[in-house]
Amino acid sequence: MDVFTAIKERRSCRKFLPDAVSEEAIEKILEAAIWAPSPANNQPWEFVVIANQDIKKKIHAESVECKKALYEKSGWAWVDKYQAGFLLEAPVIIAIIGDPAKTGLHKFLAGTETTYQHGCAAAIQNMLLVAHAQGLGSLWFTLFDRGTMKKTLGIDPSKEPLALVCLGKAADSPIQTPRKNVKEKTRHIL
Ligand SMILES: Cc1cc2nc3c(=O)[nH]c(=O)nc-3n(C[C@H](O)[C@H](O)[C@H](O)COP(=O)(O)O)c2cc1C
């Protein structure tokens, strides 16, 4: 599959079949992640591959708590309706951990404190695209409390769990989310 097709076809998957994801598929997804660009090639990422059902249950329960707290604060209707059952269904979840200490540049250039997150985001997008090219559904998930997630996954307090990527065979056709026209989003300086 060519990269543009993968970009256009990939959609977030929130319903997974229980079919196992092969080791080869997981390795390829992780390999794609580490070839992402990062500031000064500092590679600010680490990965935790989660297949343990008890840990998935814990993550799910914590996410439900996080959702409740978010709804109480925001009152947003979509938060109230949000179902996170995919955290239990997805055969594999990969946590992406970012290292703020890898940024460095922010000591000298204001506004660059978050560039380690940008590198991790590029790695995540590579993961989603390679998952899609291998016939897998995926979801970039962030509705969790980072402090709690650090404890659940045994992450060094100095590092940040930035996202969970849920992976597995899609159980239904993902929603076809629209995009605004590229012209509305682009300004040319000639
Ligand atoms: C930084 C980031 C965080 C996201 N967090 C969540 C999340 O917590 N839960 C969820 O269901 N989707 C999450 N998504 C997926 C978006 O909702 C989804 O990408 C968007 O609606 C566009 O749909 P598409 O991925 O199908 O094109 C996240 C996406 C990004 C890039």
Give DSSP secondary structure letters for 3-62.
HHHHHHH--B---B--PPPPHHHHHHHHHHHHTS--GGG---EEEEEE--HHHHHHHHHH
Report if pTM > 0.75.
Answer: yes
Q: Is the dihedral of CA 116, 120, 123, 125 positive or negative?
A: negative
* Cα–ligand 1 centroid distance for 107 (angstroms): 31
Domain locations in the chain as residue ranges: 3-172
Q: How far apart are CA 34 and CA 46, in angstroms?
A: 9
Nearest to 138 by CA among 33, 2, 66: 33
Domain 3-172, classified CATH 1.10.3720.10, yes or no: no
Whether ligand 1 lies within 6 angstroms of the CB of 118 is answered as no
Ligand 1 atom index nearest CA of 143: 8
Nearest CA to ligand 1 atom 12: 141
Helices 23-34 and 115-133: crossing angle in degrees, nearest 10, is: 140
pLDDT value, residue 8: 96
- Are 126 and 36 in contact by the 8 Å Cβ rule? The answer is yes
pLDDT tens digits for the chain (190 residues)? 999 999 999 999 999 999 999 999 999 999 999 999 999 899 999 999 999 999 999 999 999 999 999 999 999 999 989 999 999 999 999 999 999 998 777 778 888 889 999 999 999 999 999 999 999 999 999 999 999 999 999 999 999 999 999 999 999 998 899 999 999 999 999 9
Only one residue has tokens 């997008």, namely 125
For ligand 1, whether the C-beta of 122 sits within 6 Å is no
- Closest atom of ligand 1 to 86 CA is 11
